[in-house]
Amino acid sequence: MRNSLRALGAISHAGLALYKGLKGFEPQDKQSLLEAIVQTPIGSAYPEAFQRWKAALKDAVFLEATTRTPLAIGLGNSSPLENGLSIHHTYGTPYLPGSALKGLLRRAAERFGLSESEKAVLLGEGPDPKQKKPGNAAYLVYWDGWLDPASAQPFQQDVITVHHQEYYSTRGQVWPTDFDDPNPVAFLSVRPGVKFHIPITCPAENAQDWPHKAAEMLKWGLEHLGLGGKTNAGYGYFAVKLPPKPKSAQEEGLELLNTYQKRIAAIKPANERGELDFFLRELADKPPAVRRPVLEAIKKHLQEWKVWKESNPQHARIQELLDL
């Protein structure tokens, strides 16, 4: 740390503090640096930036993932403390890199037994030089997961203690003993109870089932496989809330049919004209896939009843809507 900064208390950017803020290399210097980072609230720019980001991705499927255990992701990023953390370059907030989420999904996909072609859509595939097949990119976009702006102080101090340094560094050449000096290493992690928002989008129209499918698998991965480092020591597990899955057009159509079932069965010569008027008015603006089951039921009813005639303008209109 430069002399001019020694007096500076709270550093507004956690990433900058972590990478450039170390005063010296004594253990107490590390300790005080981590303390300062943990106590620094996230910057004032972030809530506004978060809203802009969320508005830009309004069509995405958003997962809400809350850490149940500490999270240590990006430990390998170089830092003066030797253990880094994924911290957003501009805002200094912890975040979940999209590449890590996509990698986790790839592992989860193994468990879900997806076919090769399903994996190609979700994750993309590399080129195959033998069959001269070019690779293709994934059809979905896994965005970085952003911190919920309400989580004002997301960091915590953490420590990992190496008990048998020589044993590890010589790869087992030296035996571990009870007389080895433990070596505590301080590092930064994300504390439990911190919420992240993870968007997944699919640029193709009429393919919104895919991001929902990916979200379900990612939920399973985040809850059971863990994200980031030290997952075998209980780090990186989440509680995930999925967005409500929109009903498919078929489901909506069947529900609509259910509500009208009795009314259709009750169509009689006496009320036919009025009832058909009602249904044509109700259904005209509904999407074709939604209104189809009801129209088909009416047609069937009229046919069973042997009054279905193409020359009847109302019947012709029903057929026209079915053919669209």
Interaction residues for other proteins, span 263-322 (CB under 8 A):
none
Counting residues that bind other proteins (by CB under 8 A) gives 49
| Residue number, 15 or 253, with CB nearest to other proteins | 15
Distance, in Å, from the CA atom of 183 to the CA atom of 161, rounded to the nearest integer, reads 5
Q: How far is the CB of 78 from other proteins (least distance, A)?
A: 8
Query: Based on the number of CB atoms within 10 Å of its own CB, is 268 exposed (0-12), middle (13-18) or buried (19 or more)?
Result: exposed
Report if residue 78 touches other proteins, rule: CB under 8 A.
yes
295/281 Cα distance (integer angstroms)? 12
Residue 25 in contact with residue 82, Cβ under 8 Å? no
Q: Tokens representing 132?
A: 């001269």
Q: Which of 32, 77, 165, 312 touches other proteins by CB under 8 A?
A: 77
Tell me which of 32, 38, 124, 174 binds other proteins, using CB under 8 A. 124
Least separation in angstroms between residue 131's CB and other proteins is 23
Query: For the CA atoms of the chain, what is the radius of gyration?
Result: 29
Per CB under 8 A, 63 contacts other proteins: no
Give the residue, chosen from 24, 56, 266, 307, that forms a contact with other proteins under the rule CB under 8 A.
56
Residue 208 interacts with other proteins (CB under 8 A): yes or no: no
Among 29, 36, 38, 53, binds other proteins (CB under 8 A): 53
How many whole angstroms separate alpha carbon 230 and alpha carbon 223?
15
Q: Which of 36, 38, 120, 141 binds other proteins (CB under 8 A)?
A: 141
Is 213 one of the binding residues for other proteins (CB under 8 A)?
no
Alpha helix ranges (H) inside the chain:
14-20, 27-39, 46-56, 98-112, 116-123, 165-169, 209-224, 249-265, 272-283, 288-304, 313-323
Which is nearer to other proteins, 136 or 258 (by Cβ)?
136
Neighbours of 208 (CB within 10 A): 16
Cα–Cα distance for residue pair 249/289, rounded to 1 Å: 6
What residue ranges bind other proteins (CB under 8 A)? 2, 4-5, 7-8, 11-13, 15-16, 20, 43-46, 48-49, 52-53, 56-57, 74, 76-78, 88-92, 97-99, 101-103, 107, 110, 124, 137-138, 140-144, 203, 231-232
